Amino acid sequence: MEETWSNTMVGTLLSLRWDGRNLIRDGKVLFSAVHDHVNTIAKEAFHQQGRDITIDLRQMWNGAVNAWLKEAEWSRNNYLPSIEEYIEVGMTSIAADLVSDHAIYLSPLELSNEIPHHARYEKVSELTMLCARLLNDLQSYEKESKEGKSNLVVLIMKANPNATTQDAIACIEKILDQKKKELVEKILIDYNDSLPRQCKMIHLGTLKAFQMFFNGTNAFDSPTQLLHEINKAFYEDLTMKASKLTPLKDEQSRLDVHVNASMPKENRLASKSQACLRKCNKPSRGSWATPLRGFGFRPRVNLSVLKSPWFNNHITRMRV
């Protein structure tokens, strides 16, 4: 435990100072790794952003390392924080913002200095961080409890002595479901703000990554559990199987032909007129009007992001 605490202290000091001189052993190794990483990202991002973001990256890492230090201090002193204390620190220590912000800076989208401080950007980022922390705690509470680390499941049980482990898990799952819905709503609905859609979608992708890591188990800590999926993503070609289903349009055309053939002439003309009228009144391709009725949303929703089955499962429960 003392060795872990020492390494954490060294890592914190080196990250806050950003000066590797006079550091030795663990401190020098940790500083070199973080320093080189930040410089590499800043150099690559300069070509995309046209400006130096080194200071921004250092501030992000300072926040994460401070959160790790606080959690190590709690563990070292056997201190159980309040739920509010834990959430405030845990949202930062999960480092979901590091993942999303690094990806955003490396994207082709050129960001102004104001975007990371945009109110809606901060809200989307906070929701992503909170969801990532809740996903982690649901799958790692047993492991972290044995290691003397704080976990939301344990803290809820402490605050509610009559609550069982399953009660605490159910409580977290309910909160997680609500926050996921809130995040998806803020990402998919266009409020005509200045926050680029690509920024919001990268946060959504970050949540999906954490969902993969903690989907029913703690795959993040397993050295082999995701190996097959990683190999498939990088090395195996995507195979596409031909669908055996008959297109709905073809089936509808056959049905129309059959029905029209059995109709009297005057009824066929009336039916044809009604069909033309429906066609004229039908929303154009990409329109929000018809497809969004099933989701309970209103205008200005980009439907292209609703193709993912995971999001369909969560959005369809958000009916008005």
Task: Give the separation between CA 314 and CA 263, rounded to whole angstroms.
Answer: 44
Task: Give the separation between CA 300 and CA 289, rounded to whole angstroms.
Answer: 10
* Nearest in space to 99 (alpha carbons), one of 10, 185, 203: 203
Positive or negative torsion for Cα 311, 209, 146, 10 = negative
Do residues 188 and 303 lie in contact, with contact meaning Cβ atoms separated by under 8 Å?
no
pLDDT digits (tens, 9 = 90+) for 188-203: 876 666 778 888 888 9
Q: From the centroid of its chain, how far is CA 231?
A: 22
DSSP summary character for residue 195: S
Both tokens assigned to 37: 């990483």
Do residues 92 and 67 lie in contact, with contact meaning Cβ atoms separated by under 8 Å?
yes
Provide mean pLDDT across the span 71-75. Answer: 87
Type and span of the H or E element at 24: none
Average of per-residue pLDDT values in the chain = 71
The reported pLDDT for the residue numbered 32 is 82
User: CB neighbours of 256 closer than 8 A, spacing ≥ 6?
Assistant: none
Do residues 179 and 171 lie in contact, with contact meaning Cβ atoms separated by under 8 Å?
no
Domain ranges of the chain: 117-218, 248-280, 283-320
Please say if the pLDDT value at position 110 is more than 70: yes
pLDDT digits (tens, 9 = 90+) for 9-57: 655 555 566 776 776 777 778 778 888 989 999 998 888 888 888 888 9
User: CB neighbours of 260 closer than 8 A, spacing ≥ 6?
Assistant: 268, 271, 272
Pairwise pLDDT comparison (233 vs 63), residue with the higher score = 63
The reported pLDDT for the residue numbered 227 is 64
Q: What is the pTM of this model?
A: 0.64
The reported pLDDT for the residue numbered 320 is 37
Locus of tokens 């800043």: 42
Please tell me the least confidently modeled range out of 127-131, 201-205, 233-237, 241-245.
241-245
Both tokens assigned to 225: 């559990």
